[in-house]
Copies of this chain bind each other. A is one copy, B any other.
Amino acid sequence: MTRSKRVPEDCAIRFEPDGITMKVAPGTTVLDAALDGGVMIDSVCGGAGRCGRCKVMVRGAAGIAHGARKSMISAEAPKTVLACLTTVEGDLKVSVPEYSRVGVHQILETSENVPLKELSPLARKVHLKLPLPSLKDNLGDAERLRRALKKEEDKGARIPLSVLRTFPAAMRKGNWEITVTIAECQNGNEIVAIEPGDTSKHLCGLAIDIGTTTVVVSLIDMISGSTLATESTYNQQIVHGEDVLTRITYAEEHGAQKLNRQILETIRTLIPKACEKASRKAGRKISPICIMSASVSGNPTMMHFLLGLDTRNIRYEPYIPVVNTPQYFRAEELGLGIDPHALVYICPGRSSYVGGDVLADVVASGMHLKSDITLLIDVGTNGEAVLGCKDWMVACSCSAGPAFEGGEVSSGMRAMQGAIDRIQIDPAGEVKFHTIGDRGPLGICGSGLIDLVAGLFINGFIDRHGNLAKGKTKRIREGDDGDIEFFIAKRGKGGNVKGLTDVAPGDIAVKESDIQNILRTKAAIYSGCSVLLKTMGYDFKDLSQIAIAGGFGHYLDVRKAMIIGLLPDVEMKRYRFIGNGALEGARLALLSKQKRKELQKIYENMTYLELSVNNTFFEEFTSSLFIPHTDLDRFPSVKELMELERNARK
């Protein structure tokens, strides 16, 4: 892939229907130009020419890469190409169809709300009326403030130079009545703001959940503890690949600055939106600069990108992050776009693959406070599992792969507008489905894939290995590439169709190779959980609770997930859905010192189990590649269902 060179910038590229025109150097890829211009073209493989997501129509002078070679074209009529393999070689018009864009996503913003007995937020306000200075009482402004503060940790608070510079004006403007904002930091407090008069009624904070795929922010009133607004969007990094490893590779090859900037831009896009929503709700102007505190949860790779840290060593054995417990940074160090002096708390992570998002899940689940044992599963772009109770905790990361986010599945897609999220197959092979946004179907998202595989299995269209039963229904057929597939629908046709727009022609089908990818993903998660239990000498039946965290979990049909052997076969009542635990954990950290202490305690109590070198894991994984599992006795209710269905079909 040719990288953008800025000199000479002599090709004009125009994106439609965006209407964005820009100058780029010859040899720049259309994908790179789109990213630079803010045109969000989808790319799962990170520009490697593999995923085929970045299809665009070009007119003008372009180069098409074929491996190391490049052929030059001069298209009069629109030509469909992959944006990542096409370079700008002269003036070029690019039409970006909707299906190649990173679209409107169904992002889980909600979560179980953990009630807090009392608030002890990361920052708080203190309103003071200072005695007027005189010749007899001639302390400096800073010392006058310190003397008036009551708590010892406030008296000794650090005052950053840039805040100190605002002291004289604020004190005199307010005629010595002031409000100071004091934030918690490592080893003591810090005065992050001084305002004239009494502003102690208003103080905003931000809880941020940075996912590999999506980013969610909640604007929170730190006086009442209530959430004023929540906003979410894609992580702009997504154009450099779906999973953390692709991103790390991108950073190694191209530097991490772009990825750092994209995370920041993603967050900075959400903040003003949240502020606007909150302003309407609160009936007063809340601007980003009013935000005096923030807490962030995210996986270690995302945290590294946010902090501008080298991600290289996360990728290679023994998988070492730069830091597990980054603690506090100043917003201006990060470039968050809130009050520059605000301190930003980062939830601690346990290892390179069990990060602050998982510890936030734990604190949101409350499992760390219970005597009996909980298994927590977070299936996002990656899968993580934590087993434990108040006395101990063991965690692992399951390299689940992006199948449930729509990656590595030919008709897979993210849970966004037009994705099939529910699907039913009847014994005759007839298919009913529902799409997100009630749109013509464009592909299948994670929950749809699980429904699909479960439906295929229960109705005997696939066997326990995931092989399609040829001839059993006309929907099972040979695809264009010679692979056997199960046909679901034509793109844009059927289902609960509404507002169909430009849709690339084609069929939505699931291939045998897709099913294998789905089975590998489910096997990774199930066997990870299984190994955690075995390691600690427990069985699934010993669990008092299975907590499912994350967006994917939220939309999941647990019964179907049990059928394919993704989730353990236990009574439904033991399942609990905590929703976006990463966001809830960040919210708790923002509002409660107790919860921040608990996060630190969880960090200290948690043992990380590395599955990649665990022999038991490989045995378990192999057994779990079956539907639901080699050992059917582990899935008694599925076994029973299989027998019922078999009898019904007889």
Contact = CB atoms under 8 A, between A and B. Distances in A.
A158 interface: yes
A158 B186 contact: yes
A164 B309 contact: yes
What 10 pairs across the A-B complex have the smallest Cβ distances? A187-B188, A142-B323, A140-B324, A140-B321, A140-B323, A168-B310, A135-B318, A187-B187, A133-B320, A161-B333
A322 B140 contact: yes
A352 B139 CA distance: 9
A196 B322 CA distance: 16
Contacts of A479: none
B310 A169 contact: yes
A320 B172 CA distance: 12
Contacts of A90: none
A631 interface: no
B323 A141 contact: yes
Nearest to A146: B325
Interface in A145-165: 156, 158-162, 164-165
Interface in A12-53: none
A165 B310 contact: yes
A317 interface: yes
A598 interface: no
A313 interface: yes
Given A164-B307, A610-B138, A143 B323 contact: yes
Contacts of A317: 135
Contacts of A312: 168
A42 to B, nearest CB: 31
Given A158-B186, A186-B156, A164 B608 contact: no
Contacts of A319: 135, 138
Nearest to A334: B161
A325 B142 contact: yes
Interface of A: 133-135, 137-144, 156, 158-162, 164-165, 167-169, 172, 185-188, 307-310, 312-313, 317-327, 329, 333-334, 351-352, 608, 610, 613
A341 to B, nearest CB: 12
Contacts of A142: 322-326
A169 B311 CA distance: 11
A173 to B, nearest CB: 12
A313 B188 contact: no
A324 B135 contact: no
Contact of A156 (B187, B318, B321, B326): B187
A317 B136 CA distance: 11
Contacts of A187: 156, 158, 187-188
Chain A interface, DSSP helix/strand/loop, else mixed: loop
Contact of A307 (B161, B169, B185): B161
Given A142-B322, A323-B143, A186 B188 contact: yes
Contacts of A313: 141, 168, 172
A532 B568 CA distance: 85
B138 A323 contact: no
A162 B167 CA distance: 27
A187 B155 CA distance: 11
B186 A138 contact: no
Contacts of A133: 318, 320
Contacts of A165: 307-310, 322
Given A139-B320, A139-B324, A186-B188, 16 more contacts: A134-B318, A138-B319, A138-B320, A138-B351, A141-B321, A141-B322, A142-B323, A143-B323, A144-B320, A156-B186, A162-B333, A164-B307, A165-B308, A168-B310, A168-B313, A172-B313
B608 A326 contact: no
A161 B308 contact: yes
Nearest to A327: B158
A333 to B, nearest CB: 5
A330 B310 CA distance: 24
Contacts of A162: 333
Nearest to A300: B140
Contacts of A141: 313, 320-323
A611 to B, nearest CB: 10
A135 B307 contact: no
Given A142-B325, A187-B188, A320-B140, A135 B168 contact: no
Contacts of A160: 333
Nearest to A310: B168
Nearest to A187: B188
A132 to B, nearest CB: 9
A324 B143 contact: yes
24 contacts: A135-B610, A138-B318, A140-B320, A140-B321, A140-B322, A140-B323, A140-B324, A141-B313, A141-B321, A142-B324, A143-B324, A144-B320, A156-B186, A158-B185, A158-B327, A161-B308, A164-B307, A164-B322, A165-B308, A168-B309, A168-B312, A168-B313, A186-B188, A187-B187
Nearest to A143: B324
A159 B167 CA distance: 27
Contacts of A186: 156, 158, 188
A320 B213 CA distance: 54
A322 B323 CA distance: 37
A162 B309 CA distance: 9
Contacts of A352: 138
A202 B494 CA distance: 75
Nearest to A333: B161
Nearest to A168: B310
A147 to B, nearest CB: 11
Contact of A167 (B161, B322, B608): B322
A186 B516 CA distance: 58
Contacts of A138: 318-320, 351-352, 608, 610
Nearest to A189: B187
